[in-house]
């Protein structure tokens, strides 16, 4: 297939791009490098440096794309509480611009990076796709709006749409001399921050809140290896059906508290990890754990690296070789 990957210079988009190329697809990457990294671009993909709002320059009838995988977005839940407007503009308005272009050009299928943040504080655990959607931060709301737009787009105009609701993604892609991993500037995510502390690049890990209604009082998240998540995109492309909007949670179904994550980082790195409890981060749900029964049954998706130990080991290998040694 000829595919457009928006956000193909980012963490997940760059890894999916490599896997699509490996599977024999032709890929065009659209990214404005605002949060993406040039080094993450696949040499075999064509690169267009532009924001998603300008996607109609690329997605034309003549370009004859068979599908779009839409990753380009802002992703920091905490930041979205203080700068909501950039989340609505980038994530929601940007996606609507993409849908306009897709419709005008007659692109048949689209896979969207949705998020567990659409559920807010879940009323049932593990969370099925049918659970109440009540986001606790503008990040989740900005993505839920797109999920809703996709449902109506599929119903009214026949798009074959798939939303993958990511839980917490970790690990790296390390093979055939290619190393792709998580890097954000500034870093806001728990595991990469903990690795920076373990490496002595930060003084301590602040754990945001220890008075949540969870076993040890810290937030609980469901972690998934980025390679497993990437594979779900290739399966989603194949499963997409005209006029339908399929929605899948993608997680492992087991939760780790922030304190448990810190412990695994200590184990894997063999370094001390000073931790300090800090106030809660606004907008954080206490516990997000996926039921991925639907993805397993419908897509035949089976995670190959389900342990947090594997994810942190790969993230640490990437961090040491590609961030620490290059600083």
Where along the sequence are the contacts to ligand UDP (CB under 6 A)?
A: 77, 168, 188-190, 193, 206-208, 219, 221, 258, 281, 284
The gap between the terminal CA atoms of the chain, to the nearest Å, is 38
**Which of residues 180 and 193 has its CB atom nearest to ligand UDP in the complex?**
193
DSSP codes, 231-261: HHHHHHHHH--TT-EEEEEES-S-EEEHHHH
Residues 6+ apart with CB under 8 A from 102: 59, 68, 110, 159
Distance CA 291, CA 302 (A): 13
Which of the residues 87, 139, 166, 173 is marked catalytic? Answer: 139
Strand-pairing partners, residue 248, are: 164
> Residue 6 and residue 34: Cα distance in Å, rounded?
12
Distance in Å, CB of 13 to ligand UDP, minimum: 16
Q: Cβ closer to ligand UDP: 65 or 139? A: 139
Q: How far is the CB of 55 from ligand UDP (least distance, A)?
A: 25
Instruction: Mark whether 37 is an active-site residue.
Output: no
Give the span between the Cα atoms of 9 and 16, in whole angstroms. Answer: 10
Smallest gap from residue 178 Cβ to ligand UDP (A): 24
Nearer to ligand UDP, 44 or 215 (CB): 215
According to DSSP, the residues that pair with 245 across neighbouring strands are: 161
Q: How far is the CB of 127 from ligand UDP (least distance, A)?
A: 13
Handedness of CA 67, 19, 224, 301 (dihedral sign): positive
167 or 173, CB closer to ligand UDP?
A: 167
What is the three-class DSSP state of 11?
A: helix
- Nearest approach in angstroms of CB 274 to ligand UDP is 13
Closest residue to ligand UDP, Cβ-based? 219
Least Cα distance to 28 among 59, 62, 73 occurs for 59
* In contact, 268 and 250? CB cutoff 8 Å: no
Q: Where are the alpha helices (DSSP H) in the chain?
A: 11-22, 77-82, 84-87, 94-105, 138-157, 190-198, 226-239, 258-269, 293-294, 308-318
Q: How many residues does the chain have?
A: 327
CB of 165 to ligand UDP, least distance (A): 12
Question: Judged by CB, which is closer to ligand UDP: 44, or 203?
Answer: 203
> Which residue is associated with the tokens 């509480």?
81
Cβ nearer to ligand UDP, comparing 144 with 190: 190
Residue for token pair 């997000």: 288
Six-digit token pair at 251? Answer: 């997680």
Active site residues: 139
């Amino acid at each position: 297939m000829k595919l457009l990957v928006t956000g193909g210079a980012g963490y997940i988009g760059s890894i999916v791009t490599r896997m699509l190329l490996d599977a024999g697809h032709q890929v065009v990457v659209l990214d404005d490098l605002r949060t993406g990294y040039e080094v993450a671009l696949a040499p075999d993909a064509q690169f267009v440096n532009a924001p998603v709002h300008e996607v109609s320059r690329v997605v034309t009838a003549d370009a004859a794309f068979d599908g779009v995988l839409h990753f380009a977005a802002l992703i920091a839940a905490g930041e979205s509480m203080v700068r909501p407007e950039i989340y609505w503009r980038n994530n929601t308005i940007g996606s609507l611009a993409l849908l306009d272009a897709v419709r005008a050009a007659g692109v048949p299928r689209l896979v969207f990076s949705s998020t567990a943040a659409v559920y807010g504080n879940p009323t049932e655990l593990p969370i099925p796709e049918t659970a109440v959607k009540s986001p606790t931060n503008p990040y989740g709301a900005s993505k839920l709006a797109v999920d809703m737009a996709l449902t109506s787009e599929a119903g009214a105009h026949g798009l074959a749409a798939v939303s993958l609701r990511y839980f917490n993604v970790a690990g790296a892609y390390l093979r055939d001399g290619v190393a792709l991993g998580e890097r954000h500037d500034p870093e806001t995510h728990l595991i990469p921050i903990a690795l920076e502390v373990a490496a002595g690049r930060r003084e301590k890990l602040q754990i945001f809140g220890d008075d949540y209604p969870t076993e040890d009082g810290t937030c609980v998240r469901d972690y998934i290896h980025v390679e497993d998540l990437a594979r779900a995109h290739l399966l989603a492309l194949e499963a997409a059906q005209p006029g339908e909007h399929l929605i899948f949670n993608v997680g492992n179904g087991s939760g780790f508290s922030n304190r448990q994550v810190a412990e695994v980082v200590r184990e894997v790195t063999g370094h001390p990890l000073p931790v300090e409890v800090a106030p809660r981060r606004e907008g954080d749900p206490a516990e997000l754990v996926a039921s991925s029964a639907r993805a397993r049954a419908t897509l035949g998706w089976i995670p190959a690296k389900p342990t947090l130990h594997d994810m942190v080991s790969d993230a640490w290998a990437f961090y040491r070789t590609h961030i620490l040694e290059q600083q």
